């Protein structure tokens, strides 16, 4: 079952993969609509065929073929044609079946409500006018059937009409729920993507400056409320400009990524690691005393000094060191920026005292 779901999802995402914009919903909804119509069309055709109802079976085979054409058009990129084809094909099919086989008492024409759900997502980009047009088209078709279709036909009994009404209701609900599900899932994914863009540093995949500072504010506020300690550390790669100058910017980027990886791997649970800018990084350590913060940073400094960064095309690995400044919240700290400023002063001391070291600011 899960394998089937996986393949269905893959098919639905055909030609929509890797596009995170609003288009994604639209393409997926169109693909799903055609796939479902194809499955329902084929199943119905087989059922009718088995029961010896040749005309009905043929109509459903034609419906399945049209669904397949719509799906093919959609994945080939004929987006507009494929989207327009569905309402027309769907309305024609409903009119045809109601007039010829089921009669309006079967309520089969209520299947037209799926066109409303379809129009909202399928014609989202075109906007209100196109959506209204599709809904209006569904309404006119509905009225046409109600006015002119025979109430009953010789083909279906009372029981069959009830069954058709139930199936129509179930199919409409399923399609609407499916479409809403796709939209919500995609919006959630889009939301996550946008949050990533706003909070994650593209190169190192660490939190960016905005995010890590936001966390610094939270940690600072929690520390005040809970009367706890917290420490901030600022890390700066030593002589990083030399690496760029000697090996090029790309190698510099690789070094930054390796450096970020070591920081992430060595961060304790609950610590926030982020890129402050350039080759400077911040670590926010909640509920931590300066003694423990220094020992964590000392361990990290050694890990970085021991790091051998292999670069393609270079025989010898690159080694880097880092200077680290650490500061702790004090009783008279009123704003989180004060801790950061003191950590920055400590970093300055670390640079002046020979680099590759951890310094603290206890003032």
Ligand X SMILES: Nc1nc2c(ncn2[C@@H]2O[C@H](COP(=O)(O)OP(=O)(O)OP(=O)(O)O)[C@@H](O)[C@H]2O)c(=O)[nH]1
Q: How far is the CB of 250 from ligand X (least distance, A)?
A: 7
Residues of this chain that interact with ligand X (CB under 6 A) are: 203, 236-241, 244, 249, 252-253, 256, 278-279, 351, 355
What is the closest distance, in whole angstroms, from the C-beta atom of residue 243 to ligand X in the complex? 8
Closer to ligand X at the Cβ: 230 or 260?
260
Closest distance to ligand X from the beta carbon of 310 (Å): 17
Comparing CB distances to ligand X, the nearer of 215 and 236 is 236
Burial of 343 (0-12, 13-18, 19+ CB in 10 A): buried
The DSSP result for 9-41, as a single string, is: HHHHHTTTTT--STHHHHHHHHHHHHHHHHHHH
User: Widest CA span of the chain, in angstroms?
Assistant: 98
Distance separating alpha carbons of residues 129 and 136, to the nearest angstrom: 10
CB nearer to ligand X: give 97 or 320: 320
Q: Are 294 and 360 in contact (CB under 8 A)?
A: yes
- Phi, psi (degrees; rounded to nearest 5) at 332: -100, 15
Q: DSSP label at 268?
A: P
d(CA 136, CA 138): 5
Return the residue nearest ligand X (CB atom). 252
User: Please, what is the minimum distance in Å from the beta carbon of residue 357 to ligand X?
Assistant: 12
C-beta closer to ligand X: residue 218 or 244: 244
Q: 260 or 290, CB closer to ligand X?
A: 260
Determine the Cα–Cα distance for residues 338 and 348; give it in Å rounded to an integer. Answer: 15
Residue with tokens 């409303």: 116
In whole angstroms, the minimum distance from the beta carbon of 351 to ligand X comes to 5
Tell the smallest beta-carbon distance from residue 265 to ligand X (Å).
20
Indicate the residue among 222 and 250 with the shorter CB distance to ligand X. Answer: 250
Q: Return d(Cα 65, Cα 166) in angstroms, integer.
A: 25
For the bound state, the minimum distance from the C-beta of residue 245 to ligand X, rounded and expressed in Å, comes to 7
Tell me the C-alpha distance between 224 and 333, whole Å. 9
Can you spell out the DSSP letters for 209-251? HHHHHHHHHHHHHHHHHHT--EEEEEEEETTHHHHHHHH-HHH
- What is the nearest approach in angstroms of ligand X to the Cβ of residue 306? 19
Please, which residue, 177 or 197, has the CB nearer to ligand X?
197
- For ligand X, which is the closer residue by CB, 201 or 271? 201
Residues in the chain: 363
Question: Residue 250's closest CA among 316, 300, 313?
Answer: 313
């Amino acid at each position: 079952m899960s394998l089937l779901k996986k393949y269905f999802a893959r098919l639905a995402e055909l030609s929509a993969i890797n596009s995170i914009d609003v288009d994604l919903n639209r393409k997926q909804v169109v693909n799903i609509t055609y796939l479902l119509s194809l499955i329902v069309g084929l199943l119905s055709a087989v059922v009718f065929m088995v029961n010896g109802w040749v005309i009905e079976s043929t109509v459903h085979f034609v419906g399945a073929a049209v669904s397949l054409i719509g799906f093919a058009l959609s994945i080939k990129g004929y987006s507009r044609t494929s989207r327009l084809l569905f309402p027309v094909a769907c309305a024609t099919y409903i009119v045809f079946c109601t007039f010829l086989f089921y009669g309006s008492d079967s309520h089969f024409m209520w299947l037209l409500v799926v066109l409303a759900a379809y129009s909202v997502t399928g014609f989202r980009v075109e906007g209100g006018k196109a959506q209204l047009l599709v809904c209006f088209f569904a309404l006119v078709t509905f009225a046409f059937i109600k006015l002119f279709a025979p109430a009953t036909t010789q083909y279906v009994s009372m029981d069959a009409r009830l069954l058709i009404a139930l199936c129509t209701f179930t199919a409409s609900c399923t399609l609407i729920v499916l479409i809403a599900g796709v939209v919500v899932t995609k919006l959630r994914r889009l939301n996550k993507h946008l949050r990533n863009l706003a909070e994650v540093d593209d190169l190192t995949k660490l939190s960016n400056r905005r995010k890590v500072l936001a966390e610094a504010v939270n940690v600072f506020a929690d520390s005040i409320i809970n009367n706890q300690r917290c420490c901030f550390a600022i890390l700066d790669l030593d002589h990083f400009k030399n690496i760029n100058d000697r090996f090029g910017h790309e190698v510099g980027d690789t070094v930054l990524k390796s450096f970020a990886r070591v920081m992430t791997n060595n961060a304790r649970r609950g610590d926030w690691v982020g890129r402050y800018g350039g080759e400077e990084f911040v670590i926010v350590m909640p509920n931590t005393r300066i003694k423990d913060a220094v020992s964590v940073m000392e361990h990290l400094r050694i890990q970085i000094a021991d790091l051998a960064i292999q670069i393609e095309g270079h025989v010898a690995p690159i080694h880097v060191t880092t200077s680290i400044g650490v500061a702790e919240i004090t009783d008279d700290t009123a704003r989180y920026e004060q801790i950061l400023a003191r950590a920055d002063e400590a970093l300055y001391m670390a640079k002046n005292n020979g680099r590759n070291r951890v310094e603290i600011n206890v003032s």
